[in-house]
Amino acid sequence: KVSAASFSSRIRGAPVIARRDARAIRRTVARVPAVTRANADIMSEVGTAVLTDGQLQGERYVASNRFRLQAGKGPTFEKRWAERKSRLANLDGFRFFTLMRRVEGMGGPPKPTDADEEYDYVSLTIWEDKSGFDAWRTGEAFKEAHGGGTIFGFVEMLVSSMMVLKGGPKPAFYDGLLPVVKPPPEDTPWKAVGGWRDVKADGVNPLDTDVYVAMNRFKVLPGKEEAFEQRWAERESKLEGMDGFLTFLLLRRDALKAEDGYNYSTLTVWRSKEDFQAWRESSANSAAHSKAGEAEPMFDGPPSPVMYEGVLALLSEKGA
């Protein structure tokens, strides 16, 4: 395997890790039949992801958990997260965390009337690779953050969840492809200087927003995965030159089959909604999507955008 080459440039005085040459990203070994990669997760998304030789190598690992809440329980849910014990940011391989609160807007095609209800919140953690995530899940830090590792703590957490959640949480895991990362400015208030954020939450008012997260989800047809990934690898992007841009990843679902059908998604993190809107209205966005209509069909239905306000953000000094 050949790691993707990277290079640094400076835009407006801030160091940037820019997108690599697409030709350097592809694996260089000879074409072979599909191989199976074991997935060690023991949560509800258990199985193996089948990758072909021509697909891109993962350069991050992304773990998420999706939640639907009872009406009016958002601030209570956020308070629980703000007050939990965690040393997440001190763990090897940690890059980024935020609790994402879904917001409406930014258009996109209407969802079918029989479509599943959207999740209200998503916890999202970016790791350098899957080994860091696995070490966290099997270590003491995971127990501390999920009831303290005792039966009494677990029961208390379970009872509390029943009063807030609507159904159980639903995890989803991803390989992070084609990372574009801008290290955080020195004045970023949520750079990881400790294991967790010290944020006051009253359970009545929503927490202040740290970041704005835009995702666009795709149902890529079987057999079209390589072409889809290569299309993204070859596209021209000037995201790293935009004010307020922090992180981009193309997410590939780490599962035999995504239960919601979305086996790929983009993930873009911005300092604010205004920064995201400025990019949408820019010529850089138009150029990035200029060839979208020229490619062969590869989707089962249109893409599905979803937007979030990120709270309790934690970011390593390297960026996400």
Q: What is the H or E stretch that residue 218 is in?
A: strand 211-218
Q: Which token pair is 175?
A: 């390989």
For residue 10, is pLDDT > 50? no
Helix and strand numbers, DSSP H then E, in the chain: 8, 12
pLDDT in tens, 89-113: 999 999 999 999 999 865 544 555 5
Residues 6+ apart with CB under 8 A from 139: none
Dist CA 150 CA 43 (whole Å): 19
Per-chain mean pLDDT for the chain: 80
Can you give the pLDDT at residue 248? Answer: 98
Interval 255-313: pLDDT, tens: 988 989 999 999 999 999 999 999 999 876 655 555 555 566 899 999 999 999 999 99
Nearest alpha carbon to residue 249 among 19, 11, 3: 19
pLDDT digits (tens, 9 = 90+) for 174-203: 999 999 999 887 888 887 777 999 999 999
Q: If phi over 0 gives left and psi between -120 and 50 gives alpha, with beta otherwise, what is residue 13?
A: left
pLDDT on residue 282:
85
Q: With contact defined as beta carbons under 8 Å apart, do 251 and 60 qualify?
A: no
Q: Which residue has the higher pLDDT, 40 or 209?
A: 209
Tokens found for residue 266: 């983009």
| Coil, helix or strand at residue 303 | coil
Tens of pLDDT, residues 123-182: 999 999 988 998 998 888 887 777 665 544 544 555 577 899 999 899 999 999 999 999
- Round to whole Å and give the CA distance between 192 and 93: 13
Cα–Cα distance between 70 and 89 in angstroms, integer?
Answer: 29
The answer, yes or no, to whether residue 61 has pLDDT greater than 80, is: yes
pLDDT digits (tens, 9 = 90+) for 223-260: 999 999 999 999 988 898 999 999 999 999 999 889 89
Transcribe 156-217 into DSSP letters: HHHHHHHTTBSS--EEEEEEEEEEEE-PPPTT-TTB-SSSS------SSSPPPP-EEEEEEE
User: Is the predicted pLDDT of residue 74 greater than 80, yes or no?
Assistant: yes
> Which pLDDT score, from 0 to 100, does residue 117 have?
82
- The owner of tokens 């939990």 is 84
Give the per-residue pLDDT at 18: 44
The string of pLDDT tens digits covering residues 11-38 is: 333 444 444 444 344 433 333 334 434 3
Amino acid occupying residue 212: Y
pTM attached to this predicted model: 0.81
User: Which one-letter amino acid corresponds to residue 209?
Assistant: T
